[in-house]
Amino acid sequence: MDIDQVKTFLAVAAHGSFLEASAQLHVTQSTVSARIQSLEQQFGARLFVRNRAGANLTHAGERFLRHAKTLLLTYEQARHEVGLPSRFRASLTLGARIALWDSLLPRWIGRLRSHMPDISLNTEIGFEEDLMRRVIAGTMDLALMYSPRQAAGIQVEYLFDETLILVGPDPERRKLDDSYVYVNWGPTFFAQHRQAYPELERPAQTANIGWLGLQLILANGGTCFVPERVAASYLEGGCLHRIHDSPSLRLPTYVVYPTAGSRDVVDAALETLRALIRAEHGEHQNPPASDRNTACC
């Protein structure tokens, strides 16, 4: 198996077509077919069913899909690290939910660049599922998120609580009507939201990230819950207002990282992150009782 075969498999799986995969990879369709056939011979199983509609994954193909993504990520990370210029002694791959990259984590990156100029930094945006998978697979060193899960060899460390507030362009709006955009901040937010609004039916609008919720209400009116930290510039500029008499909801934030492997660079990055959190949130935040000393070794 070579990496071109893996890339070809992922391209066919993504597009559902050998022809479209060949166009994306800039190779002939016969080359795509030969690479997939070689993979199938190595595994002793068919990976795709081809028909006039395109190419669909078989059960074996679906099982290989997750491994193929990990193989490609591992290859790309290895290529990056092996090819580091001599002025860098190591690299770090850091990921987080997009809301956490809003003002907070760029300052962390600034501190890391200042304190560890000989470290190459790779920064990424992702959702919990992908971030956790990357940390478990060893292709990401540190990941910040709202709803981590436990896994063997993974440390889950509480950092601070986001305060989610209801905002909108009309300060007089009170009721959550069909202009309200429900942002999916995860299961913790869902439970608190249901408790705060027990009579609310399924919202007419939903968004999977806060940035999208903000764009929708800025363009069309309405309200949504976003971190107070993220809303600050909009509130100061007067284009959004906090909705009076609405509850503040709590969203614990965590950093996730492997417990094994090389520790010096990761530990230094963690301490820089903790110092930033202490400076911005103080020393007195306590994690939820169920999350204290959360770790799986």
Stronger pLDDT, 141 or 262, i.e. the higher one = 141
Quick check: 242 and 166 in contact, CB under 8 A?
yes
Tokens 């990357």 identify what position?
Answer: 134
Task: Say if pTM beats, i.e. exceeds, 0.75.
Answer: no
pLDDT of 191 strictly over 70: yes
Question: What pLDDT shows up at residue 80?
Answer: 66
Identity at 297, one-letter amino acid code: C
Give the containing element (helix H, strand E) for 8.
Answer: helix 3-15
Tokens of 88: 């860098």
Domain ranges (residues) in the chain: 3-80, 86-155+257-296, 161-251
d(CA 239, CA 224): 14
Sequence-distant (≥ 6) Cβ neighbours of residue 19 within 8 angstroms: 29
Q: What is the mean pLDDT of residues 217-238?
A: 95
Q: pLDDT tens for residues 131-177?
A: 998 888 788 999 999 999 888 889 999 999 999 999 999 988 878 99
Stretch among 29-38, 127-136, 196-205, 279-288 having the lowest mean pLDDT: 279-288
**How far apart, in whole angstroms, are the C-alpha atoms of residue 257 and residue 170?**
41
Distance CA 274, CA 253 (A): 12
Cβ atoms of 139 and 70 within 8 Å: the answer is yes
Long-range contacts of 63-69 (CB under 8 A, 24+ apart): 64/9, 65/10, 65/13, 66/133, 68/6, 68/9, 68/10, 68/13, 69/10
Nearest C-alpha neighbor of 229 from the set 144, 169, 160: 160
More confident residue, 285 or 39: 39
Average pLDDT over residues 9-37: 92
Structurally, at CATH architecture level, domain 161-251 sits in 3-Layer(aba) Sandwich (3.40)
**97-132 in b/e burial notation, b at 16+ Cβ within 10 A?**
bebbbbebbeebbebbeeebeebbebeeebbbebbb
Per-residue HEC secondary structure of 79-114 comes to HHHHCCCCCCCEEEEEEECHHHHCCHHHHHHHHHHH
3-state secondary structure of 139: coil
C-alpha 9/C-alpha 36 separation (Å) is 6
Q: Which candidate, 79, 140, 92, 148, places its Cα nearest to that of 119?
A: 92
- Compute CA distances 196 → 176, 182, 205, 245, whole Å: 12, 13, 18, 12
DSSP string, 203-261: -SEEESSHHHHHHHHHHH--EEEEEHHHHHHHHHHTSSEEPTTPPPEEEEEEEEEESSS
pLDDT at 297: 30
| Average pLDDT of the segment spanning 186-200 | 93
Q: What is the arithmetic mean of pLDDT over 69-80? A: 78
What mean pLDDT value characterizes the chain? Answer: 88
Q: Which residue has the higher pLDDT, 245 or 273?
A: 273
What is the average per-residue pLDDT within 259-283? 86
- Identical fold for domains 86-155+257-296 and 161-251, yes or no, is yes
Q: What is the pLDDT of residues 43-52, one digit of tens each?
A: 999 999 988 8
Question: pLDDT at position 290, please?
Answer: 46
Assigned fold of 86-155+257-296: D-Maltodextrin-Binding Protein; domain 2 (3.40.190)
- Which range is most confident: 127-131, 223-227, 288-292? 223-227
| Residue 106 pLDDT grade (very low, low, confident, very high; cuts 50, 70, 90) | very high
User: What confidence score (pLDDT) does residue 291 get?
Assistant: 45
Query: What's the topology of domain 3-80?
Result: Arc Repressor Mutant, subunit A (1.10.10)
DSSP 75: H
Question: Given pLDDT bands bounded at 50, 70 and 90, which one contains residue 262?
Answer: low
The predicted structure's pLDDT at residue 270: 95
Mean predicted confidence (pLDDT) in 225-241? 94
* pLDDT tier, 242 (very low <50, low <70, confident <90, very high otherwise): very high
Residue 203 has pLDDT above 70, yes or no: yes
Question: Each residue of 112-137: pLDDT tens digit?
Answer: 999 999 998 999 999 999 899 888 87
